[in-house]
Amino acid sequence: MTALQCPIGYRPLLDELTTEKAIRKIKDMFQNNLAFELNLQRVTAPLFVMSGTGINDDLNGIERPVSFPIKDMNDNRAEIVHSLAKWKRMKLAKLGCEPDTGIYTDMNAIRADEELDNLHSLYVDQWDWEKTITEELRTLDYLKETVRKIYYAMRRTEAFVCSDYPVLKPFLPEYVEFIHTEDLEAEYPTLTPSQRETKAVKKHGAVFLIGIGADLPLSGQRHDGRAPDYDDWSTPSDDRHVGLNGDLLLYNPVLKRSFEISSMGIRVDQAALLKQLTLRNEESRLELQFHKMLMNGELPLSIGGGIGQSRLCMLFLQKAHIGEIQASIWPEQMIETCRENRIPLL
């Protein structure tokens, strides 16, 4: 368990029943706006996939998926998804989605290795989305355009929920700022990545941090981990930077810190996949089902990401802990500390 943050004098602005009603309104409003802005169709998604296919998201490459044997399939193992980054691209191919159209789904996952705190739970729920694109759209400009559309959907949802519940006051700025990880490191070379993020969002309110996964030029370290086989974090985005992916970070006024609401990016093409697998010494993945399909040209070029459902509700309802939004399991010490600090976990 990592450090739990208990804001001094915290009081929930909405009671539990009102919170439950507000969660439903936020989710309905946002997903409708998201689908409209990005031209997405809702689809049904799996809770688990077969082990050993390369379809599951490896996240940072160290998290262990929850797995189980299937009695009626000779005890072959399936595993609970971490996210649907690769599955969605296969779904685009199956559905034959045209360029600049795509899909979204409710993704539910279990991440047993998560370090639990105000923002991280064993249970993950997000809107996973993916769009087919052309080679001409694999650009930083198209990535930024997509981010702006998602951010606009968030601001519309914030205005809606604050109108319904006047005790909540809007705080998102009008525009999102775009910053490259290389530039943020150069500006704050002595700070940790999370400290840099908080500096950026305190200054701008909303930041899309570009290029997460590649080694940074000053420290040689990564700002944060990214698997080598879905986001493209190695292709040059301009003359001085690399990466066609990033995180959408917002300032959380309750916790007074950076708050990641979405991770997204243009996905690897064949060249980027080979390059990134080589950089991470993961060339053996080329023998897996997903990777073979990509290298054989059976999958479309795409852009996609995930947007945290509980996190978005937590932010807009100005809660101190994600456990005020979703029912999960927490350490006894955390439950007691939250109770002492008037943070009501569901």
Domain boundary assignment for the chain: 16-340
Given 182, 229, 247, 269, the catalytic residue: 247
Does the active-site annotation cover 183?
no
Which pLDDT score is estimated for 269? Answer: 95
Which segment of 71-80, 166-175, 317-326 scores lowest on mean pLDDT?
Answer: 71-80
Catalytic residue among 5, 126, 276, 310: 126
Active site residue 148: no
* The one catalytic residue among 130, 260, 269, 324: 260
57 is catalytic: yes
Is residue 86 within a helix (H) or strand (E), and if so which, with residue range?
helix 85-95
Which residue of the set 234, 262, 263, 276 is catalytic? 263
Neighbours of 125 (CB within 10 A): 18
pLDDT at 2: 61
329 secondary structure, DSSP code? -
Q: Which pairs count as long-range contacts for 237-241, CB under 8 Å and 24+ apart, including other chains?
A: 237/140, 237/180, 237/210, 237/211, 238/140, 240/180, 240/182, 241/180, 241/182, 241/183, 241/210, 241/211
- CATH class, range 16-340: alpha beta
Given the residues 79, 89, 111, 302, the one annotated as active site: 111
Segment 11-42, tens digit of pLDDT: 999 999 999 999 999 999 999 999 999 999 99
**Cα atoms in the Cβ-side hemisphere of radius 13 Å centred on 51:** 14
- Catalytic residue, chosen from 5, 31, 57, 237, is 57
Question: How many angstroms separate the CA atoms of 269 and 55, rounded?
Answer: 16
- Is 16 annotated as catalytic? no
For 202-250, how does the pLDDT look when each residue is reduced to its tens digit (9 = 90+)? 999 999 999 999 999 888 888 988 889 989 999 999 888 999 999 999 9
63 catalytic residue (yes or no): no
Is 247 in the active site?
Answer: yes
